[in-house]
Amino acid sequence: MFSLKNKVAIITGGGSGIGKAICNVFAQQGATVCVVDFDEAAGKSTESEIQADGGLATFFKCDVSNQQQVATVIKNIITLHQQINILVNNAGVAHVGNVENTAEADMDRLYAINIKGVYNCLQATIPYMKTTSGVILNLASVASSVGITDRFAYSMTKAAVVGMTLSVAKDYINQNIRCNSISPGRVHTPFVDGFIARAYPGKEVEMFEKLSKTQPIGRMGEPVEIAHLALYLCSDEAAFVTGCDYPIDGGFIKLNT
């Protein structure tokens, strides 16, 4: 079950965190993985790890906010592999702040990557999926469903991701393209560790525990746990699933509200 053999999968933001975990799990299940990331060192590290484990992976450097770069990378992937079966729009950035202390530059940066980046990848990839079939998975957030303190711009972008998910699912269902999204709660990634270190120097252990307990289950998620849900939604076993957003949050939405 959940085999991705003979599938070509593009994962944006595949150099670290959730994206890296998705790359590794998909490769383990037989996919040919296209690791797309702006960070060349991180992306190549994911590529090397997969290849060292006997998997198939190629790194492509790309700024997803740049439409021309995205179009070029997608064309290069088609030239190399002749097909695209799976697109995971994972690349994204975060911001802490309410509407008053969110600068215009912050809004523009989050829009460019979290919204326009998803749009760019969708627009460049869907024409190739229409000729066969395909699966698209977008990474949203619990912030798209419930109010979270000091996440004004981030919440806005992730709500847009859910909206794009529903629109694409509706528009392309007759072309055998499925589109879903995942809304993780707090996941233990290098970003979280960096944020805690910058914002709470000297109190890292205390704040990690506090943030962990905001999930009713009592801990943060692990990137591989998000990757396992991504695997299901991108596999043939989920062929009857489209147009849905899946919280994976340790009970955060339903048990905190």
| Residue 232: active-site member | no
Identity of the amino acid at 92: G
Of 119, 154, 172, 232, the catalytic one is 154
How many whole angstroms separate alpha carbon 61 and alpha carbon 43?
A: 8
Residue in 87, 33, 82, 84 with CA at minimum distance from that of residue 60: 33
Residue in 197, 194, 99, 109 with CA at minimum distance from that of residue 151: 99
Asked if 12 and 49 touch (Cβ cutoff 8 Å), the reply is no
Asked if 62 and 70 touch (Cβ cutoff 8 Å), the reply is yes
Asked if 217 and 225 touch (Cβ cutoff 8 Å), the reply is no
Residues in a beta bridge with 178: 135
Supply the residues annotated as catalytic.
154
